[in-house]
Homo-oligomer: A and B are copies of this chain.
């Protein structure tokens, strides 16, 4: 057994879309767990759009990753040393161990994962942060009612597929938006969406709007926002009076630098949106899921059994090897993944 570990560090801050040179594979000694800490050998790590925000130094809801620092992220692996009474070697645990083969975290900051309850990767997706995000935003802010119409983009991703399936279970019409015919097929056939629009088939917000109008003949009551851009512009004029927009992300704008001209905005966008919010009495709720961890047990109680019984489906896209994490991450930002993107580290 070597005493060296491998990690991916932020080599420099990206300009726009990240490229290979923004990341660097690095080796360093495996740290010893301190008082109350646990050392984990990572098996799978999660890749999520929010990580793009951490690479910038703009003010956000979390501290930026310093240049030279380990890329942040959640992962799941086997405990190999523990100074915390709740964890013993051989246990599996989820924690923010970063893009790395090994990681140390305080025992109180990680949670145990039982491999008997299904694949451990579920802790990164359907039963982890992304699934929880979909559940919390839809139930808390979306408040779906039977017969309403729900639109969710990134429909086959771990957030979108959770939102769509939960909304279906509550009797809503669910229309997804995804990139490419293959994903649209997956949204309908695997996840049970009523319809799914391929945003690549529409040149601009106007075409997107027309397609949404056909797919949502009774308008849109809930738009679960995780992509922004063209989809947002297409959705807004179709929102029904009293509509709700939970906002948990805006992946289409993440690579747009300081969100300036590159974001593809037009001069009248804000006034138009503001007017729509007023005229259609919309309720827009930004939320960051890390504010709401105290609801996580409630989420697991509701969704855990749905996953165990197979009622709630999930799809994973597995990249092989830590060294391929940067490329898989770039693909995620471009929508090349099919389902929840994870990296097999061991």
Contact = CB atoms under 8 A, between A and B. Distances in A.
A253 B268 CA distance: 11
A271 B281 CA distance: 21
Contacts of A274: 228, 232, 247, 250, 253
A154 B104 CA distance: 54
Contact of A247 (B267, B270, B272, B277): B277
Contact of A286 (B228, B248, B283): B283
A272 to B, nearest CB: 5
A145 interface: no
Contact of A259 (B247, B260, B268, B287): B268
B259 A275 contact: yes
A285 B283 contact: yes
Interface string A34-54: 000000000000000000000
A284 B275 contact: no
Given A59-B279, A283-B284, A284-B284, A261 B267 contact: yes
Nearest to A272: B259
A280 interface: yes
A259 B282 CA distance: 19
A286 B279 contact: yes
A250 B278 CA distance: 9
A290 to B, nearest CB: 10
Interface string A219-237: 0000000001000100000
A138 B344 CA distance: 51
Given A261-B268, A271-B228, A277 B281 contact: no
A240 to B, nearest CB: 12
B278 A269 contact: no
A263 interface: yes
B281 A283 contact: no
Contact of A265 (B228, B258, B268): B268
A281 B267 CA distance: 24
Contacts of A271: 228, 250, 253, 256, 259, 263, 265
A201 B218 CA distance: 47
A271 B265 CA distance: 7
A306 interface: no
A287 B31 CA distance: 55
User: Sorted from nearest, which 9 A-B pairs have the closest CB atoms?
Assistant: A269-B270, A263-B271, A284-B284, A277-B286, A259-B271, A265-B267, A278-B286, A281-B286, A270-B270
12 contacts: A61-B241, A247-B277, A249-B278, A250-B274, A250-B275, A253-B271, A267-B269, A270-B273, A279-B286, A282-B284, A283-B284, A283-B286
